[in-house]
Structure 1
């Protein structure tokens, strides 16, 4: 579990499509440097979010660490597009007893979104983003939470028909995350509010009936009540 409060920015040392070392696990791997601030209590197997993606540490030094990347991770996130030297957002998994400053972030990316507009306003910046999966728009609401490349942000506006939403980034945040280094056309990782997803899942199941069989769900219950009323009338 994460909070969406970025602890530091690291840089890509190497992205390997087929890492045959023990730490690479015969798959894709990513090595990150500049992570000294978050590695003082690191252990093999720990979770660190890179651009909002929860990944497992397979190797580390005082300043660098390596993680493995599954095919699902590469297909759903922007991590496969990273180049040597690119900055990335880093956050350790939440420790018990620490102050919770963002929102509940799982580190499980839902999809990517494309930056389609960047508009400065005084010392802040507006970003308009188009979601690759329109099905996510049900869980993106004005003034709700969203994690963009792992950064906990507040949604400003949402346009369901055109599949975009906006966020505004204050000056402080701009200097502590990777977003300002990106341009129109760049892809960012998106994780919508997990609480909203659970509510949608539960309410949809109740309304439709969890099994789809007759006799389940609110609609079926209404039908039974109507039938009883009609039978009494006759």
Structure 2
């Protein structure tokens, strides 16, 4: 389980196809601290570390993960948001994040607000976006506003802009979306009746 508070931004060093899977080699400030079999959020996608060596770590994404996330658009030198799983005695600084991407969204607009930025997104499919509700975008816990069907916005403060890959996003880019887990369960229960 994660909280959506990005620890660091890693860099994609290598990408290789192995059967239907894709292996990624990532370099980051936390790579040497990782252990094999550890879960790490990569742009909001929970992936298992398979190897660690000299400031780099290896992860594998199955075909299903590639189809449902923006990992398919990564290239060598791409920047990727990283977060280790939360310790049992840790704080919930963001919200409950599983690392299970629900869908993707497209960046529709980026507005420089003279000290912060407003990012507007369009979902690829209908989702559980609630005004002032939590959402996870590329592994970053954020609050939605200006919600209108598949369109919503988030505000990005300078710290988040500088310490995540939001500073690399441009109009037309694809991001990973995980809806709030509590909202998903409530939606499921209500729709069963």
TM-score, normalization by structure 1: 0.80
Higher-Rg member (1/2):
1
> Any gaps of 5 or more consecutive residues in structure 2?
none
Is the 1:9–1:176 contact (alpha carbons within 8 Å) kept by the matching residues of 2? Answer: yes
Which structure has the highest strand share of the two? 2
Structure 2 residue 146 is the aligned partner of structure 1 residue 157: yes
1:23-42 correspondence to structure 2 within 5 Å: 27-34=21-28, 36-37=29-30, 39-40=32-33, 42=34
- The whole-number CA distance in structure 2 between the counterparts of 1:145 and 1:185 is 23
Query: Which of 108, 113, 123 lines up with 1:116 in the alignment?
Result: 108
Aligned to 2:144, the other structure's residue is in SS state: strand
Aligned to 1:102, the other structure's residue is in SS state: coil
Q: 1:15 to 1:27 in 2, by over 3 A?
A: same
Structure 2 residue 61 is the aligned partner of structure 1 residue 69: yes
Is the 2:14–2:25 contact (alpha carbons within 8 Å) kept by the matching residues of 1? Answer: yes
Query: Which of 185, 189, 192 lines up with 2:176 in the alignment?
Result: 189
> What is the Cα-based RMSD across aligned positions, in Å?
1.2
Shift of 1:27: 2.6
- The whole-number CA distance in structure 1 between the counterparts of 2:2 and 2:31 is 14
> Any gaps of 5 or more consecutive residues in structure 1?
20-25, 208-234
Which structure has the highest helix share of the two? 1
The higher relative CO (CA closer than 8 Å, separation ≥ 6) is in 2
Shift of 1:38: 5.2
Shift of 1:18: 2.1
Is the 2:31–2:56 contact (alpha carbons within 8 Å) kept by the matching residues of 1? Answer: no
Match of 2:94 in 1: 102
Q: Which runs of 4+ in 1 moved over 3 A?
A: none
Query: Which of 186, 190, 193 lines up with 1:203 in the alignment?
Result: 190
